[in-house]
């Protein structure tokens, strides 16, 4: 198949069509389950909503990257959205729908670059095999509901899930693009749908009309110059602008001292003091206070923004990508892995503690060492590690939960961050859905103890975080269970609403962990530092 040499053009071609189907989805939409061989099981399930036509969900797609040098472009064979008050039912329906998908996705054959036959344990980023599972974005308020806490009102759904059973896998190391699915009928349907959505923009200009074959074959794509898209030490910043102007410059200010943020600097600093008071009174040990910036974004393309962020990071984030569902989209270049599950093995990698990059190698090394030895940052990280150990112990076999890679510094293009890893072995009766219910929202974005921290933060922030500080990624199905997961914390992210309209907006969340030793002015500056790269990109594209 004449795929474009620039594989990103594939996703751009699809993205260009989403405006035509940007009506906000409601519930489960997809073809009848009897047609799953062609486009995946899509019967309406449970209380998530009603079925619909193909056009209802044609604007649902995703682009995901991993650290192994692979990207996945998927068109949703089914879209589900969570209803408020039915969050646990939503997760249960993903599990139940996986059983149906597993039963349907059997058989198939391979040959001539066509990949068929479901091997769900290999995952969406596997060397071979068809994807079987869900790409999900779970919002922070979804996690609040799992805790039984009333969330701030929001006019958007708290979670979305896209089912993938056929996807284009781009191997940037080998320079190969391969369409994978459970059988040839599914591949045919994917190609037909791609043609319908992308039209002539996805074809080679030299290819005559109608020359696209009925099934996909492997095709060469450009090999990334950096080999696998990952480097251990990103380049230093060429200038220290992010430390001196962390709000992204005056062009974003437009609302007086508040700029695009919900809170003025003084109001945010007052909330830091309120957090310190709650900690002093013994209500919490650490609180992850956040704020949200919102800007107009009628001309911003989510995919273009993500690809710019990825290239700016000189490599791939731990789990980055774009998830689009009608008029809503998530863009994230997240450095933080929330849950990694493979069978019974589970790990989480909380990040707590941040320093900016230095303008010189000497300053950069000094800042990294300062982070590594700072008592406040180490205490903050330790408390979140203890929280995550407690969360994992609810679904792991006794004696298997342990900490590794404790308090290590990871370096990213704009910041150094302090990271730890907690691992365990799931109980035989537990799967990834159980782990999400036990661990979400992630402790690095709440504080400790989790429940009381979430209540305090809800009362202080007085507004929804939306998808920010939730999680997103892949849930894989095997033997009728969600046994695989690669979920990232939704940080370094932009949530778009109203895509394709003049009223389109982009939301950026940022914040930090507050302890008794926190300095309000420094915490407010750190919030702006974390959001600056995203806000600068949005400003440049407005």
φ/ψ region of 422 (left if φ > 0, alpha if ψ in -120 to 50, else beta) reads: beta
SS3 content of the chain, % helix, strand, coil (to 5): 35, 25, 40
Which of 127, 162, 159 minimizes the C-alpha distance to 144? Answer: 159
Which of 139, 170, 222, 178 minimizes the C-alpha distance to 66? Answer: 170
Q: If you search the block for the tokens 């990257």, which residue do you land on?
A: 65
CA angle at 492 for the pair 125 and 89, rounded to the nearest 5°: 65
- At residue 499, the 3 state secondary structure works out as coil
φ/ψ region of 318 (left if φ > 0, alpha if ψ in -120 to 50, else beta) reads: alpha
Q: Compute the CA torsion angle 40, 44, 45, 49 (nearest 10 deg).
A: 130
CB 165 within 8 A of CB 103: no
Q: Which residues contact 93 (CB under 8 A, 6 or more apart)?
A: 45, 46, 47, 48, 80
Which of 144, 2, 125, 132 minimizes the C-alpha distance to 73? Answer: 125
* Helical packing angle, 432-439 and 87-104, nearest 10°: 160
Active-site entry in 87, 178, 271, 336: 336
Q: Which residues contact 127 (CB under 8 A, 6 or more apart)?
A: none
Helical (H) or strand (E) element with 70: strand 70-75
The rounded distance, in Å, linking the Cα atoms of 249 and 540 is 11
CB 63 within 8 A of CB 169: no
CA angle at 400 for the pair 143 and 482, rounded to the nearest 5°: 45
Count of CA atoms in the C-beta half-sphere (13 A) of 216: 30
Main-chain phi, psi angles of 271, to 5 degrees: -70, -35
* Helical packing angle, 375-393 and 361-373, nearest 10°: 60
Active-site entry in 352, 450, 527, 530: 352
The rounded distance, in Å, linking the Cα atoms of 40 and 133 is 11
Helices marked H in 374-418: 375-393
The rounded distance, in Å, linking the Cα atoms of 541 and 220 is 31
The rounded distance, in Å, linking the Cα atoms of 272 and 520 is 6
* 478 part of the active site: no
* 336 part of the active site: yes
Q: Compute the CA torsion angle 487, 488, 493, 499 (nearest 10 deg).
A: -10
> What positions carry a catalytic annotation?
336, 352
């Amino acid at each position: 198949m004449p795929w474009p040499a620039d594989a990103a053009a594939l996703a751009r071609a699809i993205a260009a069509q989403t405006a035509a189907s940007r009506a906000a989805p409601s519930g489960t939409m997809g073809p009848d389950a009897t047609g799953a061989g062609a486009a995946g099981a899509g019967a309406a399930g449970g209380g998530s909503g009603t079925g619909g036509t193909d056009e209802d969900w044609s604007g649902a797609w995703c682009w995901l990257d991993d650290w192994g040098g692979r990207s996945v472009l998927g068109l949703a064979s089914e879209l589900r959205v969570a209803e408020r008050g039915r969050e646990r039912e939503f997760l249960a329906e993903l599990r139940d729908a996986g059983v149906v998908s597993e039963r349907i996705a059997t058989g198939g054959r391979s040959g001539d670059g066509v990949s068929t036959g479901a091997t769900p344990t290999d995952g969406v980023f596997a060397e071979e095999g068809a994807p079987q599972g869900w790409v999900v974005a779970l919002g922070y308020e979804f996690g609040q509901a799992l805790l039984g806490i009333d969330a701030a009102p929001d006019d958007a759904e708290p979670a979305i899930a896209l089912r993938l059973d056929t996807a284009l896998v781009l191997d940037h190391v080998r320079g190969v693009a391969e369409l994978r699915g459970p059988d040839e009928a599914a591949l045919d349907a994917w190609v037909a749908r791609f043609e319908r959505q992308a039209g002539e923009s996805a074809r080679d200009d030299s290819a005559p009309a109608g020359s696209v074959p009925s099934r996909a074959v492997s095709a060469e794509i450009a090999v990334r110059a950096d080999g696998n898209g990952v480097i251990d030490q990103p380049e230093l910043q060429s200038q220290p602008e992010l430390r001196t102007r962390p709000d992204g410059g005056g062009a974003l200010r437009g609302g007086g001292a508040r700029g695009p943020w919900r809170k003025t600097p003084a109001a945010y600093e007052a909330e830091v003091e309120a957090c310190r008071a709650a900690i002093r009174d013994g209500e919490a040990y650490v609180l992850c206070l956040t704020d949200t910036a919102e800007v107009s974004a009628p001309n911003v393309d989510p995919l273009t923004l993500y690809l710019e962020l990825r290239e700016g990071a000189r490599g791939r984030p731990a789990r980055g990508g774009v998830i689009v569902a009608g008029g809503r989209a998530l863009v994230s270049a997240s450095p933080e892995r929330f849950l990694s599950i493979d069978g019974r093995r589970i790990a989480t990698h909380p990040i707590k503690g941040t320093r900016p990059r230095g303008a010189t190698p000497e300053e950069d090394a000094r800042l990294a060492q300062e982070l590594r030895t700072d008592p406040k940052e180490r205490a903050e990280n330790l408390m979140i590690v203890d929280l995550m150990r407690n969360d994992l112990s609810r679904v792991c076999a006794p004696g298997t939960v342990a900490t590794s890679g404790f308090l290590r510094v990871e370096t990213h293009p704009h910041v150094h961050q302090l990271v730890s890893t907690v691992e365990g072995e799931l109980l035989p009766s537990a799967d990834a859905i159980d782990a999400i219910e036990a661990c979400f929202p992630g402790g690095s974005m709440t504080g400790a103890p989790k429940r009381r921290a979430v209540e305090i933060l809800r009362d202080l922030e007085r507004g929804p975080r939306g998808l920010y500080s939730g999680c997103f990624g892949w849930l894989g199905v095997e033997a009728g269970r969600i046994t695989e997961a690669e979920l990232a914390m939704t940080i370094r992210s932009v949530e778009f609403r109203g895509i394709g309209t003049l009223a389109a907006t982009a939301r950026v969340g940022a914040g930090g962990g507050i302890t008794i030793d926190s300095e309000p002015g420094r915490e407010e500056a750190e919030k702006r530092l974390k959001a600056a790269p995203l806000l600068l990109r949005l400003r440049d594209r407005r």
